[in-house]
Amino acid sequence: MNSMWLAITMISMTAIIAGIYHEKRPNKKADDDLNQLRLRVDLLENDLRERVETLERIVTDRKEDLRRQFDYLDKAS
């Protein structure tokens, strides 16, 4: 009877330890996926920043504004 409880205790402890190990161990695939997503977001962010800077330059450029005004006048006449 005593050995049965020892066996139950050992099996339970093994299951608990295995569960903790499985939960705590680093998941390499998930880390790799996360790093790839971070890299992709960084690339997209840099691309968007460049596009916004270009658009800001176009919108605030006086020559471009003058060109738009001439285009508007040409279309209006």
> pLDDT tens digits for 13-23?
899 888 888 77
Measured distance CA(26)–CA(46) in Å, rounded = 30
Single pTM value for the model: 0.48
Tell me if 52 sits within 8 A of 46, measured CB to CB: no
pLDDT digits (tens, 9 = 90+) for 29-64: 778 888 999 999 999 999 999 999 988 887 787 777
Residue 31 tokens, joined? 């880390």
The sign one gets for the Cα dihedral 45, 50, 53, 54 is negative
Which band of pLDDT confidence, cut at 50, 70 and 90, is reported for residue 8? confident
